[in-house]
Amino acid sequence: MALIGINVNETTKYIPEKERGVENPTTFHIGVLTNRDRLELGGMFEEVKDNKLKAAMFGWELIKKCVKKIENVIDPVSKEMRSYDKIDDAVLMMFSNDEEVLIEVAGKIQEFNNLSTTEAKN
């Protein structure tokens, strides 16, 4: 039987709890975590001893690797609704007052990509 590949461009829309039921909710397009991503994330934080810090850093990098787009974000400067197709540190820093949303999204990425507890800790 032939191996079945994955569609690395596939995404799943996810609306965080606090955005559900509102008009134009912020929506995260969660993509596939590839084998390469898993390998990179696996060795990224080996030297970090604090488990809470390690988990936070892992979640941050996981979001940058797996979220392909964020829709309906109010830009802090222009106050206009925007979408972001490149998720980098600057985009994630806009959510500094909504840390629980980033934690929720990182958890959904793990759930959607079937990350084991061990992989998530490392």
The model's pTM is 0.85
pLDDT at 70: 98
pLDDT in tens, 45-95: 888 888 888 888 899 999 999 999 999 999 999 999 999 999 999 999 999
At residue 33, the 3 state secondary structure works out as coil
Work out the mean pLDDT of the chain and round it to a whole number. 88
pLDDT for 118 beyond 50: no
* 40 or 102: which leads in pLDDT: 102
